Amino acid sequence: MDINQRLSALSALHEHLNNLPEMELVALFDQMQNQNSWFTPEQSRHALKGIIAYLRPDHLQRWTSQYTFEKNESFLSKNIGLIMAGNIPGVGFHDLLCVLVAGHRACVKLSTSDQVIIPWLADQLSEIDPTLAKAVSFEERLVGRDAYIATGSDNSARYFDYYFGKYPHIIRKNRTSVAILDGREDQQEWNLLSEDIFRYYGLGCRNVSKVFFTDKEQIQAFMKGMDPASQVINHHKYLNNYEYNKSKYLVNRSPHLDNGHLLLVESEELVSPISVIYYELYTDKSQLQATLTTQEDKIQCIVSRNGWWKGSIPLGTAQSPQLDDYADKVDTLQFLLDLK
């Protein structure tokens, strides 16, 4: 099965997913929420929409045209152990897609937090192309594979490195995302930034957890600008996090701002708890750039108004990555193509 045949099958999967009956999708989203209450139907629908966008034929062609595929490649020549995260719905699909495009076999260990949508997608693929679907298996123990791609926390990364370090590997650690504001944001921009903050309730590495302001006047504008996202507090787990963190700051008399669904705390740290955003003030762009450079191994992406900050993406796009927006900025597909 060569690369053109694989792309044809994946393009057919795109068409298939785009035309599924709404009742089937509702049943899928209900099952996902029953398995993980963070995965509400709204969040799961957004995640599936992103997966379908990955599979658009023009997106696949543009992405794969950047790489060289062997003409006489051996299909399923390598067994790739995929240890998936489960913080947001279907977050491991991009790794799975890379393995399929590269022509290897994906041996998947699912996260206990995300057990539904990846097997469901594999089942959908089996209806379209059973040959390509046979390249996916779900396993509990991944021993003696040819290479590994593992995603987890800083603690689990040490575990992964101990067991898989002698094999070709990509091991990912904790990352987060930041926003850099210039004081020219209006309510439209605040709405876009709220998407970067609250999508998936802030659980993803592409969610903004730290904001850089130019002056204190922006802070009040930011808190008011987040008001339209107040419905996030209706989720019981988010509410529990908000109430816990608010109580902690009150008991410890820690300075913070509160708009009823979001807590804002000044801190040099990058990764904030759920329902909390950290912030810092900056006056010198070069100094801020130097600070961000020292922290680049912890930052997944930077957002700014219309992408004005060099190397950033526009507000509102953090949770809509493209196929070549690789996690930890490591080219997963090239890694897989380079395996001998």
What pLDDT score does 139 carry? Answer: 95
Structure tokens at 159: 């575990």
Decide if pLDDT at 28 tops 70.
yes
Distance CA 255, CA 187 (A): 26
Q: How many CB atoms lie within 10 A of CB 65?
A: 7
- Minimal CA–CA distance to 192: which of 204, 216, 176, 208? 208
Mean pLDDT of 105-116: 97
Distances (CA, A) of 133 to 50, 84, 94: 20, 18, 15
At 72, give phi and psi (nearest 5°). -110, 50
Mean pLDDT of the chain: 95
Structure tokens at 170: 């990509």
Q: Which residue has the tokens 């008011």?
A: 224
- Minimal CA–CA distance to 135: which of 83, 84, 77? 77
pLDDT tens for 82-98 read 999 999 999 999 999 99
Distance CA 90, CA 48 (A): 8
Q: Which of 35-39, 67-71, 80-84, 165-169 has the lowest mean pLDDT?
A: 67-71
Distance CA 2, CA 22 (A): 33
Q: Which residue has the tokens 């996916």?
A: 136
pLDDT tens for 182-214 read 999 999 999 999 999 999 999 999 999 999 999
The residue type at 207: N
Decide if pLDDT at 339 tops 80.
yes
> pLDDT band at 72, cuts 50/70/90?
low
> pLDDT band at 158, cuts 50/70/90?
confident
What pLDDT score does 271 carry? Answer: 96
Mean pLDDT of 109-123: 97
Contact of 9 with 129, CB cutoff 8 Å: yes
Structure tokens at 218: 């922006």
Distance CA 58, CA 280 (A): 41
Q: What percent of the chain has pLDDT over 90?
A: 91
> pLDDT band at 48, cuts 50/70/90?
very high
